[in-house]
Each structure stands twice: as structure tokens, then as C-alpha cells.
């Protein structure tokens, strides 16, 4: 499902809410979650899941073509943990 399909599905489910409003709220939600996780805050939506920042340590990898060692810098990532209700729905 892409963003347009998600907006359409939420519009159909909510009933009476304009698609432009749904898209604006979805954009705002994404922006708020991204900003919070970038600031190392955990964002939790009970029953749905939680986003948090993860840390990856610097490490040595290998160039797949040459087999030479390559230094990979430390980086940050995003972790999503599904909530219990989400997991239950998926496992029906």
C-alpha cells in the first residue's frame, strides 16, 4: 500500500473527512515522528507500536567485489516495535 492508497483507505474508514485533510494529518504525523526520533525521543502509539532511535557501532566490512576490508562508520537507525494489538491482528 502506498501513501495515496493509505489516504484513500483512511478517508473511506473515517467517513466525512476530506482527503486533503487526511493527507495533511498523515504528513504532520510523519513529520512529528521523524522529528521526535531524530531527537532521540521514543514515539509510542498504544496498540500500534513504537519508534525509537538505534545506534550502530563502527565496524569493518568487506568490499564484495574485491574482498578488501572497508571501514563502516558508526550510524543511527530507526527501530519499530509492533504493539500487541498490531501483532494480534497480523496473526489472525
pLDDT tens-place string over residues 26-43: 999 999 999 999 999 999
The mean per-residue pLDDT over the stretch 38-54 comes to: 96
Topology given in CATH for the domain delimited by 3-84: HU Protein; Chain A (4.10.520)
Locate the domains of the chain by residue range: 3-84
Whether the CB-CB separation of 24 and 32 falls below 8 Å is answered with no
* pLDDT score at 68: 96
CA separation, residue 55 to residues 40, 73, 74, 79 (Å): 10, 11, 8, 10
Whole-structure pTM value: 0.80
Phi/psi of residue 88, each to 5°? -65, -40
> Model confidence at 16, in pLDDT bands (50, 70, 90)?
confident
CA 28 from chain centre, in angstroms, equals 14
* pLDDT score at 91: 94
Bridge-based pairing of strands 69-72 and 75-82 is unpaired
Amino acid at each position: 500500500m502506498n501513501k495515496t492508497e493509505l489516504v484513500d483507505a483512511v478517508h473511506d474508514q473515517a467517513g466525512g473527512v476530506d482527503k486533503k485533510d487526511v493527507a495533511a494529518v498523515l504528513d504532520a504525523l510523519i513529520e512529528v515522528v521523524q522529528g521526535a526520533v531524530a531527537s532521540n525521543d521514543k514515539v509510542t502509539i498504544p496498540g500500534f507500536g513504537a519508534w525509537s532511535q538505534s545506534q550502530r557501532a563502527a565496524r569493518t566490512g568487506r568490499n564484495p567485489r574485491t574482498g578488501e576490508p572497508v571501514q563502516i562508520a558508526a550510524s543511527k537507525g530507526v527501530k519499530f516495535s509492533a504493539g500487541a494489538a498490531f501483532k494480534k491482528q497480523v496473526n489472525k
